[in-house]
A and B are shown apart, each in its own frame.
Chain A
């Protein structure tokens, strides 16, 4: 398959692994790189990439799965909305099984709430269009990758006069969250494999503070094995030379300056707002809320100051900060499985716990 097979060529993978091993022999300690994006976590698991790396390179999963960082308060508010029978909830499939403090949207649906899974916000708008007597609320979660499409949908709803369409924004933005992460105590990181899709929208520039202020090695990466290995090699080089910068391995998709049209659309409808992150807590200006101008399409999201209510033993917040591996959680694979998840990292197909569960351990060695 074009644009895929080239990036999975076994000979290129072998060559990159050889280079990484050679450079890693110059390390005098263990280095820890975090893959921020859930898509990277899954690719690393699927291709068994961690098992190709030398012992001295450790990969950690970060807060880059949108469902995983969505607080319980958001799910609770969504379910609460359905107590009004005129409300029809629309959501991406990933959020459908995420537990709030009183069950999942799926369970609400089983109890009679009208909750429908959609593949895009435009599907939600279509449902609103053909159910004009209902209040159709779209649960808008996701990073800079998703927010522009939601913004475009709000603009379309306005243009077409679909007044019964609403958005409850749980959108989050990446750079401020990464700042909070590197500032948090007890997190020893050497570098970031930066998200590919988010970066197509925001470009490489917003991450520069990570290298400049915090000395983090940084590389924006694609999602294929050679992408990820190439990025790890870049991070290794930066660490060894002590010259951190933001490199862009994913140049076929990420341009300097990102996608200005998408950003313009996004900022027309949304404005920066404080957001509550599961695992990271309250972070100023790390979320997006609908601007007053489009207030007619807005459902008020839960108060960002209210923390997420976790199961007492759930380690998701530690996992999301790279402070614990999923397998260290007492619930992992026992009380918490993809069939019956306690924490969001097990529900989401991009969650770190789901990746560990699905692929054995990411470092699966028989």
Chain B
């Protein structure tokens, strides 16, 4: 196919659409369930409990250091499955493309989706493609839905947090937001600033298999670590004190935050999870997560307290404490 850009006709449902799917999409997505291009994918499943989720991705820019909208759309959905203790099996892929989007960029996005799906061990089994007139969408939007089997070790996810429990984060915070921001603003920062975008299946498994009790596990996305931990304490009879000095933040992320007046604790991640586990197994969990590819910088960053009911509090390096609120409004527009 020689078309250099995606045209409205590619979304017409006719011949051009067929060609787009067959020549561009199927090249990347090798799946026996997808190949017949039926209205629905027919899949075989064993008995058990399943997790099902969906998410849409509208990141600007489409390509950023360390990833792109394709990788993001697979990892994000896989991670939503992983944090409830499910092993991802199938995923769908719906594309909304703005007329004029370069075909080679589309291929790049699809290639990323394929690579991320392979890394996460998930199969893309169904999809959809729409093209909208110029200006009606911003380059490309992706929606993915994912199905996962709830694993036996998900049983560790139970009960409420207890004072004394440990809070862990699986790696450096804010790298995704910083990379997107640097990409968008053309900030030329030295060093290797890359999005942390990654599937968290191994990390979540390491947490669940090594903890006696996991009372909270979420992937850290928009709003950053401070927002996700605020959700952990909201309306609860306990609080969390976060030791600011223990939260891993890469030098490049700190730099960009200082430059733009942002707080790394509120910066989005796409390959990090936050969890609360019983204190007795915290060290073991940390070590197990640190052995995974995406969790090498895992740290114990705080603890659950009887005081500060319903609040998240940061302890600074000087011993002072401040309240960490939910992110109010957007720190940045559209980064996921």
Contacts and interface: CB of A to CB of B under 8 A. Distances in A.
**Interface residues of B: mostly helix, strand, loop or mixed?**
loop
Given A119-B185, A349-B261, A358 B318 contact: no
Interface stretch (A44-52, A184-192, A309-317): A44-52
B318 A48 contact: yes
Nearest to A354: B328
Contacts of A349: 261
Contact of A14 (B185, B258, B318): B318
Contact of B323 (A10, A49, A119, A359): A359
Nearest to A39: B261
A28 B200 CA distance: 60
Interface string A204-229: 00000000000000000000010000
A47 B328 contact: no
Contacts of B307: 366
B328 A48 contact: no
B320 interface: yes
A51 B321 contact: yes
Interface in A112-167: 119
Interface in B259-306: 261, 263
Contact of B329 (A45, A338, A364): A338
Given A10-B317, A46-B322, A48-B318, A1 B258 contact: yes
B53 interface: no
A364 B185 CA distance: 35
A183 interface: no
A52 B325 contact: no
A18 interface: no
B318 A97 contact: no
A1 B255 contact: yes
B318 A366 contact: no
Contacts of B323: 358-360, 364
B329 A47 contact: no
B254 A366 contact: no
B99 to A, nearest CB: 20
Interface residues of B, number: 21
Nearest to A337: B328
A359 B320 contact: no
A366 B129 CA distance: 54
B321 A358 contact: no
Contact of B325 (A4, A48, A357, A365): A357
A1 B259 CA distance: 12
A30 interface: no
A126 to B, nearest CB: 12
The range of chain A's interface size is 20 to 34
B330 to A, nearest CB: 10
Interface string B302-336: 00000110000100111111110100110000000
Interface string B233-267: 00000000000000000010011001001010000
Nearest to A8: B317
Contact of B328 (A46, A51, A338): A338
A133 B129 CA distance: 36
Nearest to A349: B261
Nearest to A361: B323
Interface string B151-175: 0000000000000000000000000
Contacts of A338: 328-329
Contacts of B328: 337-339, 357-358
Contacts of A8: 317
A45 B318 CA distance: 13
Which of B258, B313, B317, B320 counts the most A-chain CB atoms under 10 A from its CB? Answer: B320
A13 interface: yes
Contact of B320 (A42, A52, A337, A357): A52
Contacts of B251: 1
Nearest to B261: A349
Contacts of A337: 328
A7 to B, nearest CB: 11
Given A47-B316, A364-B322, A366-B321, A97 B329 contact: yes
A358 B316 contact: no
Interface in A292-340: 337-339
A47 B320 contact: yes
9 contacts: A1-B254, A10-B319, A13-B318, A47-B318, A47-B322, A48-B322, A52-B320, A359-B323, A366-B313
Q: Ordered nearest first, which 3 A-B pairs have the shortest CB separation?
A: A48-B320, A360-B323, A338-B328
Interface of B: 185, 251, 254-255, 258, 261, 263, 307-308, 313, 316-323, 325, 328-329
Given A52-B318, A364-B323, 6 more contacts: A1-B251, A1-B254, A46-B263, A47-B322, A49-B320, A359-B323
Interface of A: 1, 4, 8, 10, 13-14, 42, 45-49, 51-52, 97, 119, 225, 337-339, 349, 357-360, 364-366
